């Protein structure tokens, strides 16, 4: 059994850490990130996350989606998504 610490995922900071390391993404994960909706996330996570934490998650999600969208436009989908 492995214990995983997700506290960094729910911080309030809106920026990405180590974004140059984001060079490829699983196709299904990218699709799910694009579908992620702040209202739905708020409903499902309201017991666990404060509104400012949800805002941070969505801000970072927006940056990740934009980054991979740019990489796909530059290098092609086959090079970025697997």
CA of 58: how far to CAs of 2, 21, 49, 67, 73, in Å?
27, 20, 12, 14, 22
- Distance in angstroms (rounded) separating the CA atoms of residues 71 and 75: 6
Q: Where are the domains of the chain?
A: 35-82
Q: Tens of pLDDT along 33-52? A: 999 999 999 999 999 999 99
Task: Provide the pLDDT confidence category of residue 57 given band limits of 50, 70 and 90.
Answer: very high
Assess whether pLDDT exceeds 80 at residue 81.
Answer: yes
Instruction: Report residue 54 CA to chain centroid gap.
Output: 12
The torsion region of residue 22 among left (phi > 0), alpha (psi -120 to 50) and beta comes to beta
Average pLDDT value for residue range 12-25? 88
First to last CA, the chain: 28
How confident is the model at residue 11, as a pLDDT? Answer: 79
């Amino acid at each position: 059994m492995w214990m995983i610490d997700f506290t960094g995922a729910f911080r309030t900071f809106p920026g990405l850490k180590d974004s140059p390391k984001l060079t490829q993404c699983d196709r299904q994960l990218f699709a799910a990130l694009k579908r992620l909706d702040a209202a739905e996330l708020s409903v499902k996570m309201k017991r666990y996350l404060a509104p400012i934490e949800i805002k941070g998650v969505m801000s970072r999600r927006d940056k990740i989606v934009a980054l991979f969208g740019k990489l796909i436009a530059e290098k092609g989908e086959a090079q970025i998504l697997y």
